[in-house]
């Protein structure tokens, strides 16, 4: 078996190519059955709206069933609902079949433990090792599992939102919604209608091949234009599996994820709902966010990049709010992982309460000047060559020393695509720009 299977958020690839083949998924399910599903002999599987989800579900189910494992099929649901339901069904683990914000041809497998948390690095390393070894014979071929269908609808979210706000809480607001033709396609609009908002619903007709296609969190042009044309108060977009949120104001301007974290912190603190007197974001967040959080009298903690690391740090410091600049917002009082719907509801409630336009509220804080680049290459081998090059390591160390005390440099490879992400921030805009140019030139000379 060549290469590393797990990225920052599970396994991801083009569906029907290695490792997302029928053969691989069946073997993976057998390995998980023998290594993880040893107590309850049960697993929960969910998926987004990609056409390949049915194929991967069938392959995984066949592997689990062959080992006597019961499979709970909860169908098409957002990732955060999958993680929330996992401990409630008393299973050994769950799998979310999704490639999040990627195009429909991609797919992926997010492995979730019995508590509803994503597998640890140690667990994924063990699974990778076992997948490289041949399977042994089935000790009990007569023991065959069964599939139990558990249909889920918007009811779960509706019932929870009723505990947060009354049915007329957003009456008078006009909100455009974009469900990315994904997991929230049948959920997002009913929730906001219940809350009394006037809405227009986009990206709510999935056909298996249009998930994230010119819609959702990655393509907000239509959403922004709709908000402007209809003179709506705001626009809300989610991604294909519902754990990422993007918001645009009444002028169609897309708001930065760090600004949303700052707003949520302000709102929760105002209503005495913030726990641990702390907020968590990642090292990739703008330095201005931490400065603003501290100005509120709160502690700010920076985790490694990745939702799992945000959640780990939140638990460590006792916070119920964390997020990533990319749009993952974790409100742990409502969901175990990032949930776009709950973040959207809380932000909307705050805007309604303020009687202000979004453009009058955002930006919540002044960001440090920042330069970001996503450098795409032909394959991951080139990326490994770049990241291990002495010249690149020395350049990063040199820039880091120059920025010490007033700026930051971040260089990381994407866990889901052949991309190197660069970010340099400094109090001085020209410094950030010139250092980025120098870094880019160094990297491209290696490639």
Closest CA to 13 of 446, 428, 415, 430: 415
Instruction: Choose the catalytic residue: 94, 100, 319, 326.
Output: 100
Q: What is the dihedral of CA 126, 129, 133, 139, to 10 degrees?
A: 0
Main-chain dihedrals φ then ψ at residue 218, nearest 5 degrees: -90, -15
- Residue 204 has a CB neighbour count (10 Å cut-off) of 18
Non-local CB neighbours of 6 within 8 Å, separated by 6+ positions? 119, 124, 127, 128
Q: How far apart are CA 249 and CA 121, in angstroms?
A: 38
Bridge partners of 299, per DSSP, are 278
- Would you state the structure tokens that stand for residue 218, as one six-digit string? 């990655």
Whether residue 181 contacts residue 215, with contact meaning beta carbons closer than 8 Å, is answered with yes
Question: Between helices 22-35 and 52-66, what is the axis angle to 10°?
Answer: 40
Annotated catalytic, 303?
no
C-alpha atoms less than 13 angstroms from C-alpha of 397 in its C-beta half-sphere: 7
Looking from the CA of 261 toward its CB, the CA atoms found within 13 Å total 35
Contact residues for 40 (Cβ-Cβ < 8 A; gap 6+): 90, 91, 92, 114
Does residue 171 sit in helix, strand or coil?
coil
Would you say 34 and 64 are in contact if contact means Cβ atoms under 8 Å apart?
no
Can you tell me the distance from the alpha carbon of 313 to that of 42, in angstroms, rounded to the nearest whole number? 29
Which residues are identified as catalytic? Answer: 100
């Amino acid at each position: 078996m060549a290469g590393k299977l797990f990225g920052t958020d599970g396994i991801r690839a083009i569906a029907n190519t290695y490792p997302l083949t029928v053969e691989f998924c069946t073997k993976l399910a057998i390995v998980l059955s023998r290594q993880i599903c040893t107590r309850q002999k049960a697993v929960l599987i969910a998926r987004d709206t990609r056409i390949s989800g049915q194929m991967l579900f069938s392959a995984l189910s066949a592997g689990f069933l062959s080992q006597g494992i019961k499979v709970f099929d909860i169908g098409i649901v957002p990732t955060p609902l999958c993680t929330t339901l996992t401990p409630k069904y008393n299973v050994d683990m769950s799998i979310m079949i999704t490639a999040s914000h990627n195009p429909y041809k991609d797919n992926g497998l997010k492995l979730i433990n019995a508590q509803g948390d994503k597998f640890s690095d140690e667990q994924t390393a063990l699974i990778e090792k076992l997948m490289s070894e041949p399977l042994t014979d089935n000790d009990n071929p007569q023991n065959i599992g069964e599939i139990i269908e558990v249909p889920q609808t918007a009811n779960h979210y509706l019932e929870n939102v009723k505990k947060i706000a009354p049915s007329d809480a957003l009456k008078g607001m006009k909100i455009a919604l974009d469900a990315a033709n994904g997991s929230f396609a049948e959920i997002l609009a009913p929730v906001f209608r219940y809350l009394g908002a006037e809405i227009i619903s986009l990206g709510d007709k999935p056909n298996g091949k249009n998930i994230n296609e010119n819609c959702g969190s990655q393509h907000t042009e239509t959403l922004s234009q709709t908000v402007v044309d209809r003179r709506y108060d705001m626009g809300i977009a989610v991604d294909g599996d519902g754990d990422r949120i993007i918001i645009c104001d009444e002028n169609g301007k897309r708001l930065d994820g760090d600004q949303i974290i700052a707003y949520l912190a302000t709102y929760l603190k105002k209503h005495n709902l913030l726990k641990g007197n702390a907020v968590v974001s990642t090292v990739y967040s703008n330095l201005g966010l931490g400065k603003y959080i501290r100005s509120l009298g709160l502690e700010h903690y920076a985790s490694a990049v990745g939702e799992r690391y945000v959640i780990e740090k939140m638990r460590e410091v006792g916070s119920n709010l964390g997020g990533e600049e990319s749009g993952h917002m974790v409100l742990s009082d409502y969901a175990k992982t990032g949930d776009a719907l709950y973040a959207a509801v809380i932000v909307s409630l705050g805007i309604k309460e303020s009687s202000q336009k979004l453009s009058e509220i955002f930006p919540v804080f002044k960001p440090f000047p920042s330069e970001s680049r996503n450098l795409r290459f032909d394959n991951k081998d080139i990326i490994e060559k770049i990241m291990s090059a002495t010249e690149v390591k020395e350049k990063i160390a040199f820039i880091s020393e120059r920025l010490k005390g007033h700026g930051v440099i971040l260089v990381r490879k994407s866990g889901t695509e052949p991309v190197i992400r660069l970010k340099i921030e400094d109090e001085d805009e020209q410094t950030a720009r010139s250092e980025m140019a120098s870094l880019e030139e160094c990297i491209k000379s290696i490639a």
